[in-house]
Amino acid sequence: MSTTSARTSYDLERIRGDFPLLSSTMRGNPLVYLDNGATALKPDPVIDAEVAYLRDISANIHRGVYELSERATVLFDQARDKVKRFIGAPSDGEAVFTKSATEATNMVAFGWGRKALGPGDEILTTELEHHANLIPWQELARQTGAQLRFVELGEGGVVTAEAVAAALTARTRIVAITGMSNVTGFMPPVTEISRLAHDRGAVVLVDGAQLVSHHPVNVAELDVDFLAFSGHKMCGPTGVGVLYGRRALLDAMDPLLYGGDMIVRVYRDHADYRGAPERFETGTPNISGVIALGAAVDYLEEIGMEAIARHEEQLLEYALGRLDGVEGITLYGPRGVRRGGIVSFNLGQVHTHDVGSVLDNEGIAVRTGFHCAQPFMRHLGIHGTVRASFYLYNTRDDVDRLVEALGRVREVFG
Ligand code: C6P
């Protein structure tokens, strides 16, 4: 098996051994999983942590005085500490468990935005965004009379600090921007953007759904006010996500849901609420998912996010080199800028779903279509792309299999 670097001690073979699905076959071929942008495969330690809770603990948190409930509470709280450490949350920052990155952006749009925005205020975003970081802002603008504005994109969908500076105004209340495009892997200069936004008195929300799983993230260094991400894209389970927020902002924010576990005292006609994060986590949370997310953090940290990012960078370079040589291919996304391990392309006039079907016949899983990013597709003047997205366990052999299979697409569709 090829590794992407002889210089690092990145043990690709061992890593691959941790993921049971990587030894499976699909349509009679060894699986090549290149849909990590949609969700990541899960390693044994994550699966084991979730199963161990379900089998050996099963109790609810924060409610019982008996041992099983205490064990569940300890593991749940430990998972929050791990997540906070993973993203470098400063002491005045909090990590709220949500069901997804989508829920996290909605919580900010409606919990914070409805109170903070009024007619004439501006929400600044980009056409690069996943719908999860666009539609909540469209809806917020509709409900508050605020205006949704867009940063002008550069060649290949680049967002520059200069373009953000040009779009910011004295009425900008929030800049909602992706940390990494799910279509091209492009990573906007978030630290500079935060500085520019803060200078104008705007807050910054970064959609970290792709960024957090693939790159070291430190919210204090990025100086962001909110960060939304999902557990399932970082080797954790589905149904659990995170909203990081500065405490002062979270304290000023309304929850989306109301009920048990978020309260201090309840009277007939009103209740006193707890502070963040509990105020935003009413009802029984996804306890097994949160605990397994904690295990995913441990797993990624043991390998090292720097090492994972380097591995993917090298793999991307290799993939771009190989794909550049495929006849009839159009590759999207900027070159020579910071990019995560995602490649989007079209092959001649062949429909993306047809490409995906041929690849599937070869055991290769990719995503096809508009990737929940229709405005960006429109910007590119296309209906969709074929997307191969890499993660810590992908190899050069995977890229070679992809390139080979694209040859089959050409044979089938001419
Ligand atoms: N993108 C993809 O294939 P959820 O579904 O809430 O876990 O994540 C939403 C989301 C938000 N932002 C970005 C940048 C994303 O990529 C995603 C999820 C998947 O690209 C599924 S549509």
- Report the pocket of ligand 1 as residue ranges, CB < 6 Å: 37-38, 100-102, 130, 132-133, 178, 182, 207, 209-210, 230, 367, 371-372
Q: Which of 282, 301, 320 is the last residue of a domain?
A: 301
Q: What SS3 state is found at 222?
A: helix
- Do 295 and 370 fall within a single domain? no
Q: What is the mean pLDDT of residues 204-211?
A: 98
pTM value? 0.97
Tokens, residue 370: 């508009």
- pLDDT tier for residue 75 given thresholds of 50, 70 and 90: very high
Type and span of the H or E element at 305: helix 305-324
Count of all residues that appear for the chain in the document:
414
Q: What is the CATH number of the domain that holds 77?
A: 3.40.640.10
pLDDT of residue 64: 79
103, 181, 182, best to mutate for ligand 1 pocket (most atoms within 8 Å of CB): 182
121 within some domain: yes
- Do 200 and 334 fall within a single domain? no
- Do 383 and 278 fall within a single domain? no
107, 127, 190, 372, best to mutate for ligand 1 pocket (most atoms within 8 Å of CB): 372
Would strands 172-178 and 147-150 be described as parallel, antiparallel, or unpaired?
unpaired
pLDDT at 414 over 90: no
pLDDT, greater one: 92 or 179 = 179
pLDDT of residue 93: 85
6 within some domain: no
Q: What is the mean pLDDT of residues 301-325?
A: 98
Q: Which of 243, 269, 301 is the last residue of a domain?
A: 301
Please compute, for residue 104, the number of CA atoms within 13 A of its CA located in the half-sphere on the CB side.
29
pLDDT of residue 7: 37
Please provide the average confidence, as pLDDT, over all residues in the chain. 96
Q: What SS3 state is found at 177?
A: strand
Q: What SS3 state is found at 395?
A: coil
- Do 242 and 325 fall within a single domain? no
Helix axes 352-361, 396-413, angle to 10 degrees: 120
Q: Which of 301, 323, 353 is the last residue of a domain?
A: 301
Type and span of the H or E element at 163: helix 161-167
- pLDDT tier for residue 137 given thresholds of 50, 70 and 90: very high
Task: Determine what percent of the chain falls in helix, strand and coil, rounding each to the nearest 5.
Answer: 45, 20, 40
Dmax (CA) for the chain in angstroms is: 72
Buried b (16+ CB within 10 A) or exposed e, 100-117: bbbbbbbbbbbbbbeebb
- Do 20 and 132 fall within a single domain? no
Structural domain span for residue 175? 49-301
381 within some domain: yes
CA 354 – CA 365 distance, rounded (Å) = 13
Phi-psi region of 62 (alpha: psi -120 to 50; beta: other; left: phi over 0): left
Which atom of ligand 1 is nearest to 181's Cα? 14
pLDDT at 283 over 90: yes
Structural contact between residues 159 and 126, judged by C-beta atoms closer than 8 angstroms: yes
Residue with tokens 């090549």: 32
Q: How many A from CA of 209 to the centre of ligand 1?
A: 6
- pLDDT tier for residue 9 given thresholds of 50, 70 and 90: confident
Q: What is the mean pLDDT of residues 192-219?
A: 98
- Do 16 and 53 fall within a single domain? no
3 within some domain: no
Which atom of ligand 1 is nearest to 182's Cα? 16
35, 210, 386, best to mutate for ligand 1 pocket (most atoms within 8 Å of CB): 210
- Do 182 and 312 fall within a single domain? no
2 within some domain: no
The DSSP secondary structure of 72-134, one letter per residue, reads: HHHHHHHHHHHHHHHTT--TTEEEEEES-HHHHHHHIIIIIHHHH--TT-EEEE-TT--GGGT
Q: How many A from CA of 167 to the centre of ligand 1?
A: 25
Tokens, residue 173: 């209340």
pLDDT of residue 54: 98
Lowest mean pLDDT among 57-66, 183-192, 243-252: 57-66
1 within some domain: no
- pLDDT tier for residue 6 given thresholds of 50, 70 and 90: very low
**Is 372 an annotated catalytic residue?**
yes
Which residue of the set 372, 377, 388, 405 is catalytic?
A: 372
pLDDT at 4 over 80: no
- Do 73 and 144 fall within a single domain? yes
Task: List all residues 6 or more positions away from 73 whose beta carbon is below 8 Å from its beta carbon.
Answer: 61, 62
pLDDT of residue 92: 87
- Do 190 and 247 fall within a single domain? yes
Tokens, residue 97: 């468990």
Q: What SS3 state is found at 345?
A: strand
Q: What is the mean pLDDT of residues 261-282?
A: 96
245 within some domain: yes
Would strands 203-207 and 29-30 be described as parallel, antiparallel, or unpaired?
unpaired
pLDDT at 5 over 50: no
CA 309 – CA 343 distance, rounded (Å) = 15
Q: How many domains is the chain built from? A: 2
- Do 107 and 188 fall within a single domain? yes
- Do 310 and 189 fall within a single domain? no
Task: List all residues 6 or more positions away from 118 whose beta carbon is below 8 Å from its beta carbon.
Answer: 144, 145, 146
Q: How many A from CA of 99 to the centre of ligand 1?
A: 13
- Do 182 and 200 fall within a single domain? yes
5 within some domain: no
pLDDT of residue 63: 80
pLDDT at 393 over 90: yes
The one-character DSSP state at 350 is -
- pLDDT tier for residue 382 given thresholds of 50, 70 and 90: very high
Which atom of ligand 1 is nearest to 230's Cα? 7
Q: What is the CATH number of the domain that holds 391?
A: 3.90.1150.10
pLDDT above 90 as % of the chain: 96
Q: Whose CA is nearest to atom 21 of ligand 1?
A: 38
